[in-house]
């Protein structure tokens, strides 16, 4: 994802074709040559897309954010006590750090906060705000793709690392990718723990409505990915030629966001043309939903075991504390047992 964003930045800077632009074009074309055709959910998040996402979080149908916040709010002291004091909190894909603020307020003597995000300006602004609010908390923002290795500098002595991964972001990854990511985050946690937001399987009408709201905000969010592609790659997707669709894929246990071609059409992308049949779908996002069993099995494959699960009364969403399974930690991970007040070293 970072490679994509970096390439996008360069492209915006120079306005001409850079080797990275070629790589970006190639990766988009590679996705469009698959069956079904695919684009990365990264394309949702330009300026307008980020605003639309904030609007989605306020929609009556989009239960995820609201339910997760209600779980955090009602169980906060219990959650904070379970992870312990003097933590170095690392947040992959931190965005505006809204949910983090609640957590940091509840933790006992948080030592350091390390947000990791590809949206660099937003990241630094959020870090600065947190520095103002939490005197004594060391905040070190890392502008990076959290799916790739990143270095965590020595910024404060801490007791343990905690990876904070709310928002059901894990759902965007297919099973294989999710196991890889969870393993990577286990190495980042260095024998510490993780708090993760996980969306659960429920009545399919509830799930579909969350991704196909009556006001059409999600439809605009989905179509905006094509607008973003057009602007950054100079492609000529006709937005009126596609419509939004959200479907529940029961076999893979996921909501899929599709952009469906209204007619047979050719789209130019760079020097290439891609043909869409009438009714053909372009997949723009997967949002996997889990049962407690499927999630625990997946986390287990990545070397985590489930410490605790907090959920809402309807069990629509869950916040889970994962604990690194020491038996699976390899020499490369080092430090399964972390001593009190040990200064952090580099990741
Ligand atoms: C930010 C990935 C959690 O999958 O629900 C919202 C993104 N897509 N509406 C999700 C999203 C459509 C969201 N995540």
Per-residue model confidence as pLDDT tens digits over 165-222: 999 999 999 999 999 999 999 999 998 999 999 999 999 999 999 999 999 999 999 9
Cβ distance 144 to 123 under 8 Å? no
Cβ distance 347 to 151 under 8 Å? yes
Instruction: Tokens 């983090």: give the residue.
Output: 100
Cβ distance 160 to 112 under 8 Å? no
Q: How far is the CA of 287 from the centre of ligand 1 (A)?
A: 7
44 Cα nearest atom in ligand 1: 8
Protein residue whose Cα sits closest to atom 14 of ligand 1 = 169
Cβ distance 233 to 270 under 8 Å? yes
Q: Give the pair of three-digit tokens for residue 14.
A: 């120079």
Residue 162 has pLDDT above 70, yes or no: yes
Q: Are strands 112-117 and 138-139 parallel, antiparallel or unpaired?
A: parallel
Residue 5 has pLDDT above 90, yes or no: no
Residue 230 has pLDDT above 60, yes or no: yes
Cβ distance 318 to 310 under 8 Å? yes
64 Cα nearest atom in ligand 1: 5
Cβ distance 106 to 331 under 8 Å? no
Q: Give the pair of three-digit tokens for residue 230.
A: 């057009």
Residue 339 has pLDDT above 70, yes or no: no
Tell me what the mean pLDDT of segment 71-94 comes to.
Answer: 95
* CB distance 68 to ligand 1 below 6 Å: no
Pocket test for ligand 1, best of 225, 285, 286, 319 (most atoms within 8 A of CB): 285
The per-residue pLDDT for range 15-65, each reduced to its tens digit, is: 455 777 888 899 999 999 999 999 999 899 888 998 899 999 999 999 999
**Cα–Cα distances in Å, from 104 out to 32, 51, 57, 80, 118?**
42, 25, 22, 9, 22
Tell me what the mean pLDDT of segment 267-283 comes to.
Answer: 96
The per-residue pLDDT for range 297-321, each reduced to its tens digit, is: 999 999 999 999 999 999 999 999 9
Dist. CA 172–CA 95, nearest whole Å: 16
In DSSP terms, 266 is beta-bridged to 275
Residue 8 has pLDDT above 60, yes or no: no
Q: How far is the CA of 329 from the centre of ligand 1 (A)?
A: 31
Global pTM value: 0.88
* CB distance 64 to ligand 1 below 6 Å: yes
Pocket test for ligand 1, best of 96, 166, 172 (most atoms within 8 A of CB): 172
Most confident of 60-64, 101-105, 141-145: 60-64
């Amino acid at each position: 994802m970072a490679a994509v964003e970096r390439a996008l930045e360069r492209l915006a800077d120079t306005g001409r074709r850079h080797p990275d632009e070629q790589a970006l074009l190639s990766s988009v074309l590679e996705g469009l040559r698959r069956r079904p055709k695919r684009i990365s959910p990264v394309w949702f998040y330009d300026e307008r897309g980020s605003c639309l996402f904030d609007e989605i979080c306020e929609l009556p149908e989009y239960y995820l954010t609201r339910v997760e916040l209600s779980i955090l709010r009602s169980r906060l002291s219990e959650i904070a006590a379970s992870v312990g004091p003097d933590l170095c909190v690392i947040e992959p894909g931190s965005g505006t750090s809204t949910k983090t603020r609640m957590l940091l307020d509840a933790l006992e003597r948080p030592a350091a906060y390390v947000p990791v995000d590809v949206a660099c300006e937003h990241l630094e602004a959020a870090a600065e705000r947190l520095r103002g609010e939490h005197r004594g908390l060391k905040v070190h923002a890392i502008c990076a793709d959290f799916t790739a290795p990143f270095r965590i500098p020595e910024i404060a002595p801490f007791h343990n690392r905690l990876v904070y991964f709310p928002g059901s972001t894990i759902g965007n990854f297919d099973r294989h990718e999710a196991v890889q990511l969870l393993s990577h985050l286990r190495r980042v946690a260095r024998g510490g723990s993780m708090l993760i937001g996980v969306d659960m399987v429920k009545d399919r009408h509830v799930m579909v409505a969350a991704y196909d709201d009556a006001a059409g905000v999600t439809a605009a969010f989905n179509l905006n990915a094509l607008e973003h592609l057009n602007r950054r790659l100079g492609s000529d997707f006709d937005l009126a030629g596609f419509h939004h669709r959200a479907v529940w894929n029961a076999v893979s246990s996921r909501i899929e966001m599709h952009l469906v071609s209204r007619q047979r059409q050719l789209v130019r992308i760079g020097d290439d043309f891609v043909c869409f049949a009438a009714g053909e779908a372009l997949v723009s996002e997967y949002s996997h939903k889990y049962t407690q069993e499927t999630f625990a099995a997946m986390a287990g494959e990545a070397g985590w075991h489930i410490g605790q699960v907090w959920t809402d009364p309807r069990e629509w969403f869950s916040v889970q504390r994962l604990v690194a399974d020491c038996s699976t930690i390899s020499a490369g991970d080092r430090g399964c047992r972390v001593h009190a007040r040990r200064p952090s070293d580099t990741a």
